Amino acid sequence: MATTTLHPAAPTYRGARGTLYEWVTTTDHKKIGIMYLINSFLFFFIGGLLALGVRLELAQPGLQFVTDQTYNELFTMHATFMIFLFIIPILAGFGNYVVPLQIGAPDMAFPRINALSLWMLPLAGILLLISFVTGGSAAAGWTSYSPLSQDRPLAATGSGQDLWIVGLVLIGTSSILGSVNFLVTIFKMRAPGMTLFRMPIMVWTVLVTMVLVLMATPVITSALIMLFIDRNYGGSFFDPANGGDAILYQNVFWFYSHPAVYVMILPAMGMISEILPVFSRKPLFGFKAFIFATAAIGALGFSVWAHHMFTTGAVYLPFFSLMTFLIAVPTGVKMFNWTFTLWRGQLMLKTPLLFALGFLTMFLIGGINGAFSASVPVDFAIHDTYWVVAHIHYVLFGGSVFGVMAGFYYWFPKMTGRMLNETLGRIQFVLMFIGFNLTFFPMHELGLSGMPRRIADYASNAAWNDLNVAATIGGFTIALSMLPFLWNIFVSLRSGPVAGDDPWEGNTLEWATSSPPPPYNFDHLPEIRSERPLFDQRHGQAAGH
Amino acid sequence: MATDSQALTTTTEHSPVGGLAHDSTGGISNPVLGMLLFITSEVMFFSGLFAAYFNVRANAAQWPPINPETGEQFHLAILPFVGPATVLLILSSFTCQFGVWAIRRGDRTLFLRNFAVTFVLGVTFLIMQGIDYALLASEGITLSAGTFGTTYFTLTGFHGAHVFGGVIMLAVVLYRGMAGQFSPRHHDAVEAASLYWHFVDVVWILLFSLLYLLPGK
Amino acid sequence: MHPLRHPRNAIFLGLLFVGIGLVYLFVPLIGGWHVDYAGATMLIALGAAMSIMAYVLIAGSPND
């Protein structure tokens, strides 16, 4: 039986409504997860608006709309919001909602700390937003390299940079507390029968992600603190005139920020690994290989950080180039596994699968142009050009954002009890896919022909005009695709078809309870003998493992 | 005075985590596990600061560098404050652990006494460090005194901040202990606080060895 | 017990990073190339932290 009846004593969760007070003071991982999503999407839109500002200025040579300084603020804060207040938290938010359900737990291990982690985010976001009106935001790039990010010798940034540092330290703390929470939850609170190797891939990717967060985030906290001390207390960490080293900042910064990119992609890969089997009506190909590939990516991710610093002359090039190439191996294993999951499957071309297919193709492109960049001579040519911008957006937008959209369409019915509209979903997908490629594909050519990053203006005889216009049109198309998305949510929340417990015929435990689940998650858990407990329940047990 | 009942826990004294707070499902209790993981993240925080220290030290022609005010190399004095403070901090780890063993046995009085001593020793450490800072400042060693001052004050300053956090934790545990909230079977907060305190002590031993004992160049 | 379940073996994960860190430190040192002390420190500390983390997670997990 796939349906569960709500215990009479459970408060009604229809539409996941509750009073404002209930939401603000909740420690329920499901409500907290949803608020993570809301906060993250809010900053996605803000970051998107900043990107539109960038694209508007770059469409034509010459400074039409903003000054150089304002342009620097635009791209700095675009990246800052997108990385720290959108992609990392939204994946944590999905994890928050889904992981306890998928392991059959009633909540996270530390519900109050969970709430604390959540509320630190809008607080940090407000600090970052305030900086726009208190004399200008940070403007030294999201990487904030010294000496540009210090006020010497040029007063390039003001208090905005300090607010930026404080905001990021808050966000980092939120992440670290979250990672402790997830790790204890996953290791201590699994339902009986759910061994580590029977956990869904989503839980595994969240596990590895949280190890990365736990180990790497404190390092950027230390880099930011050192920067703060240099800026405000006459410190000399990064000041060569007093014995410091500007490259030291980059070294410590990237020791975190490289593992951070795996933090930004692994949970999205987990979501895709949940969606592809369900919508191909086939088990995930190579389940165990997946787990090891995920662990390998996590481990290798710590050994490649200096590939962001190849051109500084201070890096042992062969080591980092080799390790960077090596990471392509477990990633390739995953691509093959996903492809063979789809192969000869009975594909249900619903919106989650569309976005998953978008993920596979776009992330593949991002992986390939990244593999090129791993080669030192190539990197010397394309470092700090638009080739890199193309790479990062193909993996982060083509990969993570498409993954997020797939996951959103997949789990929205569970969270709200309503189905999202398929037609609107398809319209969003098509607009987003076209817009995304129109924006970022030309950047490969722009980078190869030498257009540098982070410039507000470019020469009109560089032959970059047309590609920039194309990219700007693409950017606005992406913005357009947000309209059917928002309309879909609005309409479906009010009058979408009722979802029931298990609208997709899923494999994992979250589909074994009502939509939305009661506060304590499960009235009754099915027997767990494999990584697909619901499939087993529906079809009689296959050989468990 | 109650002892652990084997019927209710599945972690025996032969388990690798036999000493730590038991969980009814076997294994380490959630709050203690959480604290251990948090401590590993703190290790990484200090690693970033240590990384900067080693880098700066390696790049310097001379270490300690020359103090522009005196024309001589910077010098950090172990006496009269830092050496004794170190001894007190190490002592406090012992009293802390005695307290933990006491509450595991059910001896509330001894637990409270030991934790109170630990608290006092921790506060004393902070006071002595503060006085030492003032002394150093009077000799021209401040945050802005080149890389030497910056690294010294950042490293010891953040360690001090962690000691301060630990002191607050000990105070909370003391308060709860005096209110009778801990028993041999339920004292997760005591275990967690003591683990954090030991960590703070280990970091200091490392810092002290690096900053005061490692020969210069 | 399956080898992957034994807490002592979990430490090998962290020791791997310590090993990489030591290679990262000593190969350039002995070879006379530029030594990245910062990177080596962070890698070795990472190894230590990972060992502790892996051990407590495996040893601290329930017995099923």
pLDDT of residue B9: 40
pLDDT of residue C3: 64
- Name the domain count of chain C: 1
Q: Residues 6 or more apart from A417 whose CB is under 8 A from it?
A: A13, A14, A15, A16, A498, A499, A514, A515, A516
- From chain A, pick out residues whose CB is under 8 angstroms from the CB of B144: 233-236
- The residue-averaged pLDDT of A325-331 equals 95
Closest CA to B201 of B161, B163, B164: B163
Q: Is the pLDDT of residue A542 over 90?
A: no
Which CATH number among 1.10.150.120, 3.40.50.150, 1.10.3720.10, 1.20.210.10 corresponds to the domain A26-539?
A: 1.20.210.10
- Residue A145 — left, alpha, or beta (φ > 0 → left; ψ -120 to 50 → alpha)? beta
Q: Is the pLDDT of residue A118 over 50?
A: yes
Q: What percent of chain A has a predicted confidence (pLDDT) above 90?
A: 87
Q: How far apart are CA C54 and CA C64, in angstroms?
A: 17
- Name the domain count of chain B: 1
* Domain limits, chain A: 26-539
Mean pLDDT of chain B: 89
Which 3-state string (H, E, C) describes B2-57? CCCCCCCCCCCCCCCCCCCCECCCCCECHHHHHHHHHHHHHHHHHHHHHHHHHHHH
Q: How far apart are CA B214 and CA A169, in angstroms?
A: 32
* Residue contact C60–A215, C-beta within 8 A: no
Q: Is the pLDDT of residue B20 over 90?
A: no
Which 3-state string (H, E, C) describes A122-169? HHHHHHHHHCCCCCCCCCCCCCCCCCCCCCCCCCCCCHHHHHHHHHHH
Taking the CA of residue B110 and the nearest CA in chain A, the distance in Å comes to 30
Contact B51, C39 (CB under 8 A): yes
pLDDT of residue A105: 95
- Residue A252 has its nearest CB partner, among B48, B144, B158, at B48
pLDDT tens-digit series, residues A494-513:
999 999 999 999 999 999 99
Q: How far apart are CA A74 and CA A137, in angstroms?
A: 9
Q: How far apart are CA C18 and CA C16, in angstroms?
A: 5
* Residue contact B51–C39, C-beta within 8 A: yes
pLDDT of residue B18: 45
DSSP-derived secondary structure letter, A237? T
CA-based angle A391:A216:B197, to the nearest 5?
A: 170
Domain assignment present for residue B50? The answer is yes
* Residue contact A214–B47, C-beta within 8 A: no
B25 → chain C, closest CA residue: C62
Dihedral sign from CA coordinates of A359, A364, A369, A373? positive
pLDDT tens-digit series, residues B167-192:
999 999 999 999 999 999 999 999 99
Chains in contact with A via at least 3 Cβ–Cβ pairs below 8 Å = B, C
Token pair in block for residue A245: 């080293």
pLDDT of residue A3: 54
Closest CA to A116 of A218, A21, A25, A217: A25
Helix, strand, coil share of chain C (percent; to 5) = 80, 0, 20
| Beta partners for residue B22, in sequence order | B28
* Residue contact C56–B26, C-beta within 8 A: no
Q: What is the maximum span of chain A, computed from C-alpha positions, in angstroms?
A: 73
For helices A246-280 and A287-300, give the axis angle rounded to 10 degrees.
170
pLDDT of residue B8: 38
Domain assignment present for residue C64? The answer is no
Gap between the terminal Cα atoms of chain C? 11
- From chain C, pick out residues whose CB is under 8 angstroms from the CB of B57: 37
Taking the CA of residue C33 and the nearest CA in chain A, the distance in Å comes to 9
Q: How far apart are CA B109 and CA B111, in angstroms?
A: 5
| Beta partners for residue B66, in sequence order | B73
pLDDT of residue B27: 79
Token pair in block for residue A130: 């305030």
Contact C55, C7 (CB under 8 A): yes
- The residue-averaged pLDDT of A53-67 equals 95
pLDDT tens-digit series, residues A334-359:
999 999 999 999 999 999 999 999 99
Is residue C16 within 8 angstroms of chain B, CB to CB? Answer: no
Task: Give the residue with greater pLDDT, A153 vs A200.
Answer: A200
The three-class DSSP label of residue A499 is coil
Dihedral sign from CA coordinates of A161, A167, A170, A172? negative
* Residue contact C53–B58, C-beta within 8 A: no
Interface test with B, best of C13, C17, C37 (most B CBs within 10 A): C37
A228 → chain B, closest CA residue: B154
pLDDT of residue B217: 80
Closest CA to C63 of C1, C10, C19: C1
Q: How far apart are CA C24 and CA A319, in angstroms?
A: 9
pLDDT tens-digit series, residues A383-397:
999 999 999 999 999
Task: Work out the pLDDT band at A152, boundaries 50, 70, 90.
Answer: low
Q: What is the ipTM of this complex?
A: 0.93
pLDDT tens-digit series, residues B88-135:
999 999 999 999 999 999 999 999 999 999 999 999 999 999 999 999
Query: Which DSSP string corresponds to A75-91?
Result: HHHHHHIIIIIIIHHHH
* Residue contact A109–B56, C-beta within 8 A: no
Contact A86, A171 (CB under 8 A): no
pLDDT of residue C31: 86
Q: How far apart are CA A345 and CA A281, in angstroms?
A: 6
pLDDT of residue B22: 52
- Residue A526 — left, alpha, or beta (φ > 0 → left; ψ -120 to 50 → alpha)? beta
| Beta partners for residue A418, in sequence order | A498
Q: Is the pLDDT of residue A471 over 80?
A: yes
Q: Is the pLDDT of residue A207 over 60?
A: yes
* Residue contact B47–C7, C-beta within 8 A: no
Taking the CA of residue C31 and the nearest CA in chain B, the distance in Å comes to 17
Q: How far apart are CA B102 and CA B110, in angstroms?
A: 6
A188 → chain C, closest CA residue: C61
Interface test with B, best of A180, A228, A232, A245 (most B CBs within 10 A): A180
pLDDT tens-digit series, residues C12-32:
888 989 999 999 999 888 988
Q: How far apart are CA A384 and CA A391, in angstroms?
A: 11
Q: Is the pLDDT of residue A129 over 60?
A: yes
DSSP-derived secondary structure letter, A325? H
- Looking at residue B194, its amino acid is S
The three-class DSSP label of residue A385 is strand
Domain assignment present for residue C13? The answer is yes
Token pair in block for residue A264: 């930004």
Range of the domain at C37: 3-59
Q: Residues 6 or more apart from C51 whose CB is under 8 A from it?
A: C10, C11, C13, C14, C15, C18
Is residue C42 within 8 angstroms of chain A, CB to CB? Answer: yes
Contact A128, A81 (CB under 8 A): yes
C-alpha dist (Å) from residue A41 to A176, A241, A420, A479, A486: 21, 43, 17, 13, 10
Question: Counting one residue from A and one from B, how many pairs have CB atoms under 8 Å apart?
Answer: 111
Chains in contact with B via at least 3 Cβ–Cβ pairs below 8 Å = A, C
Q: How far apart are CA A312 and CA A376, in angstroms?
A: 12
Is residue C36 within 8 angstroms of chain A, CB to CB? Answer: yes
Q: Residues 6 or more apart from B7 whose CB is under 8 A from it?
A: none
Domain assignment present for residue C14? The answer is yes
CA-based angle A415:A419:A421, to the nearest 5?
A: 135
Residue A426 burial by CB count (10 A; 0-12/13-18/19+): exposed, middle or buried?
A: middle
Gap between the terminal Cα atoms of chain B? 58
Domain assignment present for residue B172? The answer is yes
